[in-house]
Amino acid sequence: MGKFYSKKPTEAEMDLFLGKDILTSYQFTKEELEIIMHTAAYYEEALAGKKRLYDMDGKIMASLFFEPSTRTRLSFETAMNRLGGSCITVAESVDAHTSSLAKGESIYDSMRVIDTYADVIVCRSPEKGTLKIAAEAAEVPVINAGDGPGQHPTQALLDIYTIFKEKEDLDGLTIALVGDLKHGRTVHSLVDFLAMYHTKLIFCSPSSLPMPEIITQKVRERGVDIEESNNLAEACSKADVIYMTRVQRERFEDVSDYEAVKDEFIINEEMVQKFKSGAIILHPLPRVNEITVGVDQYPGAAYFRQVGNGVPVRMALLALVTGSVK
Judge contact between 131 and 123, C-beta under 8 A: yes
198 is catalytic: no
Which H/E stretch holds residue 1? none
For residue 67, what is the enclosing H or E element? none
Instruction: Give the active site residue among 38, 59, 71, 182.
Output: 71
Q: Can you say how many angstroms the Cα of residue 326 is from the centroid of all Cα atoms in its chain? A: 25
Q: Which residues bind ligand NCD (CB under 6 A)?
A: 71-72, 146, 152, 155, 185-186, 245-246, 284-285
- Go through 227-249 and write b for each residue having 16 or more CB atoms within 10 A of its CB, e for each that does not: eeebebeebbbbbbbbbbbbbbe
CA distance 98 to 136: 24
| CB closer to ligand NCD out of 18 and 288 | 288
Closest distance between ligand NCD and the C-beta of residue 118, in Å? 21
Q: Nearer Cβ to ligand NCD, position 305 or 326? A: 305
Q: How far is the CB of 50 from ligand NCD (least distance, A)?
A: 26
Q: What are phi and psi of 131, to 5 degrees?
A: -65, -25
**Distance in Å, CB of 141 to ligand NCD, minimum:** 19
Least distance in Å: CB of 131 to ligand NCD?
13
Give yes or no: 103 in active site.
yes
Let me know if 124 is a catalytic residue: yes
Distance CA 267, CA 272 (A): 7
Residue among 52, 98, 103, 116 flagged as catalytic? 103
Identity of the residue, 14 or 282, whose beta carbon is nearer to ligand NCD in the bound complex: 282
* Residue 140 vs 157, nearer CB to ligand NCD: 157
52 noted as active-site residue: no
Strand partners, 185: none
Catalytic residue among 38, 59, 73, 124: 124
Sheet holding 142-147, edge to edge: 86-91, 60-65, 120-125, 142-147
Cα separation of 180 and 248, whole Å? Answer: 7
Residue 130 annotated among the catalytic residues of the structure: no
Which residues belong to the active site? Answer: 71-72, 103, 124, 152
